Structures are given as C-alpha cells and as structure tokens.
Structure 1
Amino acid sequence: MNFSDYLRQEAEPIFQSILDHPFVRGIAKGDVPKEAVAHYVKADFEYLNAFMNIYGIAISKCDKREDMAFFTENIDFVLNSEIHPHHNLCEYIGTPYEQLQGYPLPPSADHYIKHMKHHAHEGNIGEILAALLPCPWTYLEIGQRIMKEIQPDENHPFYAWISFYADGAIADTTNQLRHRLDLWAETASEHEKQTMYEAFMKSCHLEWRFWEMAYTQESWSLTPEHTVKS
C-alpha cells in the first residue's frame, strides 16, 4: 500500500462525515440555505487566495523546474478555473461574486489557513503536499458521489458546481499531488512520515469544519450572520 492510500484509509471516517454533511447533501438535493452559501463563498474566496500563497511558498522550496512548473500550473488553475463553482453559488443566491469578497475569515477557516501556512513555512515539500491534498481529494469525491447518485442535468441549480468537481481536472490535481507525496514518502524518515500523516489528517478534519462553519454561519461573535450582502 502506498502512502496516500494509507492516508485515505486512515481518514475514511472523516471523508464519510464530509460526504454526509448537510451542506454537501443540500448541494446534491439542490437546496442549501442562501445565508450558508454566502458564508461559504466569503470564506472560500479567502481560503483559495491562501491556497495559492502556499503553492508559491512550495515553489520557493523546489530545486527542480518540473516541480516549480507543477505548482505554478496549480496556481493558474485556482486563479482562473476554480472561480467557476463560486459563480454558480453566487447565481444561486442572486448576489454578485464581487460583493462576497474581502470579508474576515470565520474561526474554522482562519484555523485551516494557519495550519497549512505553518506546514508551508516550517516544513518540507512533503508536509506541504500532505496539508494541501485533502482539499482537492474531498471535493473530487463529493463531486463524483453526487454525479453518480443524482445524475444531475443542467436544470439542477448546482449542476456547474457538481460537474466541475466531478471533472477530470480535479482528478488530475488530486492524482498528481498523491503521486508526488508517495514519491516523497519513499525516502522520508519515520518522523517525516508521521508529520505528513498529522498534516493530512488535520487538513481532513478542517475540511469538515469548513463545511460546518458555512452551514452554521460561524463567526467570532458567536452570533450567526442571517443576511446576505446585496
């Protein structure tokens, strides 16, 4: 069993909790509270900015140009392609995308970003890969599961979101991250593998927390936001 397969096996309960989360099931049914969707987009816009920053930190730690090219391509993907699911969500709630940008991060999203940046700044490439991998991997499985179960057509309110994450582009990103992590693990010490394991598992848990944060409209004031900025 390679390292990424082992990590996925260990994280099975968390993956299942994510797949069964009411926000995710709401996407499948085409019915999510609009306030929760707005809360999600606000946080995810900032999260994806941080994701690109972490790819940039990874580039600074690369020795090979092919590795630099890999992380650069992924920055381009997040910057120019992963905005499409956000647009779908914004259309669903009837709010311009630009009006959901520039908000403070809720606690769980803030925690998630700081967790990834810690491994990016303090760790090696293996740690960075392990911390980043759960994001595309969980979204890939969400998209594939909904596509298989619901088989949505273009009339589904979240068809663009579902088809994006069930598409080959996310699978390619996930598989490339897994492959690079597996290669890194082959020569890693037991201590390094344990650190990568912990980075991966914490990111998986924080992926669940991100959905929960959006669904409950988590905030620092402990008072949910009940309005969509218009």
Structure 2
Amino acid sequence: MSTLPAPPADGFCAQAWEHTAGLQRAIVEHPFNVALTDGTLDREVFAFYIVQDARYLVGFAQALAAAATRADTAEDAAFLSGAAQGALVEERRLHAGYVAEFGLSDEEVEGVDTSPTCLAYTSYLRACALGAPYPVLLAALLPCFWVYQHVGSTILEATGGAADHPYRAWIQTYADEEFAASVLTARELVDRVAASAGDVVRRKMLAAFTRATEYEWLFWDSAWHREAWPTARFLR
C-alpha cells in the first residue's frame, strides 16, 4: 500500500470515498478482480479487458486534455496534460505488451467490438469535458486514477508481490509509488477546486464521482462477461 500522506480527512475526496465505500468494496470483491488476485483469471477474459481498456484510455486522455485547457494554474495544466500523455503512452505500452504476449494480431484486436459499457463510459467522460463545469469534470476523472490505485494496491498486498504472478505487470503498474503520487496530486487538485466551489457544484461533483465509480464497476463486470451488443443479432 502507498506510504504517501493522504489529503485532509474532511475534504471532498474523503466525503466522496465514504459515499461510495460500498461500491469500492464491490469493485475489489468483483469476480474479475478476485480471479485476477489469485492468478486464475481466464486469459481470454483478460485479453478482452485489455482491448476495451486500451480503447477507454483514448477517451480518458481526451477528457484529461480538455481539463488541462481549463486549468486555473500552469502547474495544474501540466499535471493534467502529463496524465493525458501517460494514459496514451505508458499505460497503452502495458496493454501492447499483453496483446503481444497473447499473440493477438491487429486483425483480431480490430475484430473485437467496443463494448456497450466501454462506449458508455468514454461517452460520459467526453460529455463532461464538453458541457460540465471544470470541477465536475475533475470529479468525473478522479475514479479512474483512484479506484485503479486502490485495486492495484489491494491486490499487491494480497499477493505479496509474487514474482511468478501471471498478471504481475498489471498489478505493479497500478500499485506503483509513482502512480500513487499522481493519484495523490489528482485528489489534492479535486479537493482544492471543491473547497472554492458552491454547494450546487459540489453536489454535481459528488454525482459525477459516483457515476464514474459506477462505470468502473460496470467496466470490470462487462469484461468478466465479455459483454457484447445484444442487438447484434438483428444486424447483417
């Protein structure tokens, strides 16, 4: 688990985490993450997840880049634009490694439809980037940082960092201290903008954080079931 100091316990982030505590537990306890933890996760399920997550990261990075253009300070803009670059470069490098390991061709990857949940989550973030107030957009982006760090750190603690774990690279990416530091920066930014926001905006921030966290659960659930479009059978 990260040894970095946490933001104040009375800030917006603490309130948002408490509000979604049951959902956070459900994410960690989801069959996908349980199987990921014990190393029994089916490779085809994980491959489906990797393809969907790579596509999600494009929309996530676009929303981060939009947030960077609306930042109040150069420091915040640099952090958000750097996070956008990281989503497109660093994390996608992880995905590319797994795609190569699984022996998936470009044609096979392209042949996997973007799932309804992946499209819905990325569409939600893009909609926030286009129409939501800046603090609300930041709150919608935060779960992707924070939930992944929480899941990765929880799994690392459970596995003890076993060198032979089949998904060790994924676990280390999200349990890494450098990633934890970026999550802390994101939380501090959200707490800061929330502190100067009015009650109406703060309620919208909480709603956005909650919705994005719900999408995080749905994303893992959709990967577990290898979600397909139920309407596909009606099309030629």
Return the letter of the residue paired with 2:65: G
CA distance in 2, matches of 1:127, 1:23: 29
Q: Does 1:184 align with 2:193?
A: yes
Return the letter of the residue paired with 1:186: A
Residue in structure 1 matching 2:211, options 199, 202, 205: 202
Q: Does 1:69 align with 2:53?
A: no
Residue in structure 2 matching 1:33, options 30, 42, 47: 42
Q: Report the 3-state secondary structure (helix = DSSP H, G, I; strand = E; otherwise coil) of the residue aligned with 2:71.
A: coil
Q: Does 1:81 align with 2:90?
A: yes
- Range moving further from structure 2, 56-65 or 163-172: 56-65
| Equivalent in the alignment of 1:53 | 62
Per the TM alignment, residue 99 of structure 1 is displaced from its structure 2 partner at its CA by: 4.7
CA distance in 2, matches of 1:15, 1:207: 9
Residue in structure 1 matching 2:127, options 113, 118, 122: 118
Q: Does 1:144 align with 2:125?
A: no
Same amino acid, percent of matched pairs: 28
CA distance in 2, matches of 1:52, 1:119: 13
Q: Report the 3-state secondary structure (helix = DSSP H, G, I; strand = E; otherwise coil) of the residue aligned with 1:82.
A: helix
Q: Unaligned 5+ residue runs, structure 1?
A: 224-230
Per the TM alignment, residue 84 of structure 1 is displaced from its structure 2 partner at its CA by: 4.1
Return the letter of the residue paired with 1:131: A
Runs of 4+ with >6 A deviation: none
Residue in structure 1 matching 2:221, options 212, 219, 223: 212
Residue in structure 1 matching 2:26, options 1, 12, 17: 17
CA distance in 1, matches of 2:202, 2:189: 14
Per the TM alignment, residue 91 of structure 1 is displaced from its structure 2 partner at its CA by: 5.3
What are the Cα deviations for residues 69-97 of structure 1, in whole angstroms up to 9, with x where unaligned? 11111122112211243245435534357
Return the letter of the residue paired with 1:129: L
Q: Unaligned 5+ residue runs, structure 2?
A: 1-9
CA distance in 2, matches of 1:59, 1:154: 37
Return the letter of the residue paired with 1:190: D
Return the letter of the residue paired with 1:175: L
Q: Report the 3-state secondary structure (helix = DSSP H, G, I; strand = E; otherwise coil) of the residue aligned with 1:81.
A: helix
Note closer, same or farther for the CA distance 1:38–1:58 as it changes in structure 2 (3 Å cut): same
Note closer, same or farther for the CA distance 1:144–1:107 as it changes in structure 2 (3 Å cut): same
Q: Report the 3-state secondary structure (helix = DSSP H, G, I; strand = E; otherwise coil) of the residue aligned with 2:230.
A: coil
Aligned residues: CA RMSD? 2.1
| Equivalent in the alignment of 1:226 | none
**CA contact 1:131–1:199 (8 Å) conserved in 2:** yes
Alignment size in residue pairs: 224
Return the letter of the residue paired with 1:26: A
**CA contact 2:162–2:168 (8 Å) conserved in 1:** yes
| Equivalent in the alignment of 1:169 | 178
Per the TM alignment, residue 48 of structure 1 is displaced from its structure 2 partner at its CA by: 0.2
CA distance in 2, matches of 1:97, 1:29: 29
**CA contact 1:48–1:78 (8 Å) conserved in 2:** yes
CA distance in 2, matches of 1:182, 1:7: 10
Note closer, same or farther for the CA distance 1:167–1:190 as it changes in structure 2 (3 Å cut): same
